[in-house]
Chain A
Amino acid sequence: MTGVISGSGQWAYVAAAYGLTVLLTGAVLWSSWRAMVKAERRSDALRRDQS
């Protein structure tokens, strides 16, 4: 097992990688969802006003 990377510090790297993934993916998902809902509501409201 020569050269094996060991130690509890490894989990800090794993947590950083997963944390960053959750944070950035969540931010883009959330902002895309909010922008879509807002735009579709605006479009529907304008259509109702015109009809």
Chain B
Amino acid sequence: MHAYANPTRFLAIARPLTRWLLGVGLLLVLAGAWAGLTQVPGDYKQGETARILYVHVPAAWLGMGGWTSLALAGLIQMVWRHPLSGIAARAIAVPGMLFTALCLATGSIWGKPTWGTWWEWDGRMTSMLVLLFLYAGFIALTNGDEGQRQGGSLSRGAAIYALVGAINIPIINRSVVWWNSLHQGPSITLRGSSIDNALLWPLGLTLLGFSLLFGAIVLMRMRRIIADNRVAARLRRLADDEGN
């Protein structure tokens, strides 16, 4: 792991990987969405609206997975001071916030015809909204800070914020078990799925596809930060040379 903390080594892998993740991710998302919209039957109770599942579940998975990765990056930054971990945390924040917002929006759109309401202040929806605010707080905390000007590393405060915010992830996951909720209970667990296979298979395609797209977005944003750092370093050297 330490070997890949070097930006030059990282870029040698990230450059070809970005295109692969982007290409395969787009193909899988398109295939999954096509299958989810045209190849599977409507749900026996919810009818056609159940097809929202194929975008809502990946969005929820990536919103939560994004913060888990961000907290891990914060931990690595605090313990090993890897230069890339702070850059990774910064790169994860915007796509993580995007998918959390998409999860809330698609869930709300699904909720109106299914529950008769756009929004309910229950455990699942409220804890997911808290995650959105946590992302917004992290972006506000790290945008334009001293760490950004010095190569992208996270401040101790931002790394601790990321770790403390991770407490919300198991709360989101268990919210439908701990509290009464309009939201259904867990459909997919380690023991299996309560969703029939006839409806389940496109979800595998969109889950994997959106995850690859998320990875591509993170790599693109990391590459942008590294390129900006190199420009800043060269400009500083130029200014120093002219000063001497």
- Give chain A residues whose Cβ lies under 8 Å from the Cβ of B90: none
Q: Which residue from chain A places its CB closest to the CB of B55 in the assembled complex?
A: A21
> Which of B44, B109, B210, B234 is the most central at the interface, judged by chain A CB atoms within 10 Å of its CB?
B109
Using C-beta atoms within 8 Å of the partner chain, give the interface range for chain B.
35 or more
Using C-beta atoms within 8 Å of the partner chain, give the interface range for chain A.
20 to 34
B231 adjacent to A39 (CB under 8 Å): yes
A4 adjacent to B44 (CB under 8 Å): yes
A14 adjacent to B51 (CB under 8 Å): yes
B217 adjacent to A13 (CB under 8 Å): no
Contact digits for A29-51, partner B, Cβ 8 Å, 1 yes 0 no = 10011011001101100110010
Contact digits for B67-101, partner A, Cβ 8 Å, 1 yes 0 no = 00000000000000000000000000011001001
- Give chain B residues whose Cβ lies under 8 Å from the Cβ of A40: 223-224, 227
How long is the Cα–Cα vector from A35 to B95 in the complex, in angstroms? 14
Q: Given contacts A32-B220, A46-B234, is CB(A13)–CB(B98) below 8 Å?
A: no
B100 to chain A: closest CB distance in Å?
A: 11
Query: B110 within 8 Å of A by Cβ?
Result: yes
The total of Cβ contacts below 8 Å across the A-B interface reads 102
- Give chain B residues whose Cβ lies under 8 Å from the Cβ of A42: 227, 231
A36 adjacent to B234 (CB under 8 Å): no
- Give chain B residues whose Cβ lies under 8 Å from the Cβ of A50: 234, 238
Contact of A5 among B45, B51, B59, B109 (CB under 8 A): B45
B114 adjacent to A39 (CB under 8 Å): no
Q: Which residue from chain B places its CB closest to the CB of A1 in the assembled complex?
A: B44
A10 adjacent to B49 (CB under 8 Å): yes
- Give chain B residues whose Cβ lies under 8 Å from the Cβ of A43: 227-228, 230-231, 234
Contact of A13 among B44, B52, B231, B235 (CB under 8 A): B52
Q: Which residue from chain A places its CB closest to the CB of B59 in the assembled complex?
A: A21
A17 adjacent to B48 (CB under 8 Å): no
A4 adjacent to B45 (CB under 8 Å): yes
How long is the Cα–Cα vector from A20 to B56 in the complex, in angstroms? 11
A5 adjacent to B52 (CB under 8 Å): no
B220 adjacent to A33 (CB under 8 Å): yes
A24 adjacent to B231 (CB under 8 Å): no
Q: Given contacts A4-B45, A5-B113, A50-B234, is CB(A17)–CB(B56) below 8 Å?
A: yes
Query: B172 within 8 Å of A by Cβ?
Result: no
A sample of 9 inter-chain contacts (CB < 8 A) reads A5-B47, A14-B49, A17-B109, A28-B98, A39-B231, A40-B224, A43-B230, A43-B234, A46-B231
Known pairs A13-B52, A42-B231, A46-B234; list 4 more (Cβ under 8 Å). Answer: A17-B109, A18-B33, A25-B98, A32-B224
Closest 9 pairs between A and B when the two form their complex, measured CB to CB: A39-B227, A10-B48, A32-B220, A43-B227, A36-B224, A17-B106, A36-B220, A17-B52, A21-B55
